Amino acid sequence: MRSSRNGAVAAVGVVLGVAVGGPIVLDVLGGASLSVGTLDTVTFLFSFVSTPTEISMSIDPAVLWIGAVVGLVYALGRRYRRAHAPGGT
């Protein structure tokens, strides 16, 4: 139980670090814009734009669905492995 809690804390820390530090690093490196996916389509996930007056980021709600699906698949996989492990409960 303790190791899964530590893993969850580490995952949240990495996500927050990338969310806060990512735009700063892109701006320092001179990246004017970065997009993951095509804007206004199902494939759009993330956009970063830096202008002389502002830095803006947008994240599509599909990112939440992807996270939920990945988490569900992970949880079901862990449960299956525990149930079918030798001596598992």
Residue 38's pLDDT is 84
Q: Residue 53 above 80 pLDDT? A: yes
For residue 45, CA distances in Å to 39, 61, 80 come to: 8, 8, 30
Interval 18-32: pLDDT, tens: 777 777 787 788 778
Q: Are 16 and 10 in contact (CB under 8 A)?
A: no
Q: State the pLDDT confidence band at 89, using cuts at 50, 70 and 90.
A: low
Q: State the pLDDT confidence band at 54, using cuts at 50, 70 and 90.
A: confident
Residue 2's pLDDT is 58
What's the DSSP call for residue 29? T
CA distance 76 to 55: 39
Q: Residue 43 above 60 pLDDT? A: yes
- SS3 of residue 41 by DSSP: coil
Query: Measuring CA to CA, which residue among 49, 57, 19 is closest to residue 32?
Result: 49
Predicted structure pTM score: 0.49
